[in-house]
Structure 1
Amino acid sequence: MTLSPRDGKPVVLEGSPHGFTVAGAADPASAAATAARVRDALADLRAEGAVALGSPERHHGLSPPRLRVAIELARPQPAPAGAGAPSSSEGSFTIAIGAGDAFRGTNVFYARRDGVSVVYAIAQSRVRPLLEAAGVAGAD
């Protein structure tokens, strides 16, 4: 997984035998803690609602986004009968995080997943750990 801030250096998280960690980090304990916060944030990431269909508008702040979250999937699939080891189903997707705003009384960031023509509102509290891990200041 890669967290790519608009104005900064990408942060790469990678799997290891002991869980996820930040690639190239000097402090392994801090890297593991950051990776755990990112993992937990992604597990909890859900939209408060859809705010626009089609192309994003300027005020959504998605061109360019403040953060891109690129996720590569490798999920084992059951092996067909008599085929031996399970195969893996691979794929990837990107979530773009844009401007902050309010939606139905909740502070949100606008977000969009590649390949889906919808702009979503996601609570800022759910997105903040991703922004912090990527070093994005001013998580309004």
Structure 2
Amino acid sequence: MSIQRTWIQNPLAVFTANELDARGGIVIEGTKITEVLAVGQSPSQPVDQVFDATDCVLMPGLINTHHHFYQTLTRAWAPVVNVPLFPWLKKLYPVWARLQPEALGLASRVAMAELLLSVAPLQRITIICSRREWKRRSMCKSKWCGNWACALY
């Protein structure tokens, strides 16, 4: 079985974190980016699928590897706002020690929602489209949300 090649073509904007021109899009083989294309450039080899990203922003997926979900409940607590790290910890440890399961569940739901909205936990390629564009493409019903993370704004 051959690896599928997909061209995410002509994004509205693209973030590469370097000087590469990727305004023509990128080519993905399996789960790896194999080509970065400048405007007007075509893939070096035939592709199996083309995704028109004209109305989308392309950026690397970001993975949050460390997060304290319970801290969402206390980050804006007045006694610790603008307090240095160690005094902050000393004031909050007793608060966190008294958190009940219901509060931890709420904190986890809030933290996960914030991470999803910030695109932080998503992997591989993140394609950000407007809600209108998302509906038009029906991307959630396709393989795009399985292999690539899709986010709404």
Q: Larger helix proportion, structure 1 or 2?
A: 2
Q: Same fold (TM over 0.5)?
A: no
Larger of the two Rg values belongs to structure: 2
Per the normalisation by structure 2, the TM-score is: 0.21
Q: Larger strand proportion, structure 1 or 2?
A: 1
